[in-house]
Amino acid sequence: MGHELENQEEERYSKLLCDQMGAEETNIAMGGGSNDRIVRNLLVENNIEDYDLAVIQMTFPVRTEYYNQKWIKVNPTNSPWSYEKEALRRFDEKFKHDLDFWKHWYMHVSSEEHFEKREEILYHTIRRSCKIPLILCTINRRTKLPFDLQLNDGTRNMRHRRGHPNKHLHRIFSDKILDIAKNL
């Protein structure tokens, strides 16, 4: 999405990559979105075959979503076991009554193994469903899956206050993705 960039539309890596390739950019990223949302967009809401190349960035596996008259993001911090109020801070005010369910879910039902397996299932769903050239990236440093590119390499000096990459790191990502794309 390019969160925290001064000029998101022009500085995010998807735009830089498309400019380098002479291609039209389609970026449907959503701040705080989940891997479930990515798969839903891939399989239900978009026709991936309308594109020549897909660059998909998966996120932290603890994020999810559910439907209650609209899609609601559930976006705890990277570690669900340190969540308290801050972890579910982005919960839509209209659905605060669901907060107790999600607190219970993260504290008593889910586990690290659960999230690893869900990430694996969604990873393979994307790989098998994408019928065009695909570059699959992640920001989950704990993953054991063979992603094409790790976008969360711990580069602290090239990140904004909340951890999102600065414009120089977006340029680096764009260049790395272009190198991968040339070999597809």
**Domain spans, the chain:** 1-61+124-184, 63-109
Share of the chain above pLDDT 70, in %: 82
Any alpha helices (H) in 22-83, and if so which ranges?
A: 35-40
Mean pLDDT, the chain, integer: 83
Tokens read off for 132: 């065009």
The 8-class DSSP code of residue 165 comes to B
Mean pLDDT of 13-24: 93
Phi, psi of 71 (to 5 degrees): -75, 130
Per residue in 37-67, pLDDT (tens digit) is: 999 999 998 888 899 999 999 998 988 888 8
pLDDT at 110 exceeding the cut of 80: yes
pLDDT at 182 exceeding the cut of 60: yes
For residues 181 and 35, what is the distance between their CA atoms, to the nearest angstrom?
A: 22
Per residue in 75-84, pLDDT (tens digit) is: 776 444 444 4
Predicted structure pTM score? 0.85
For residues 148 and 107, what is the distance between their CA atoms, to the nearest angstrom?
A: 32
Radius of gyration of the chain (CA): 17
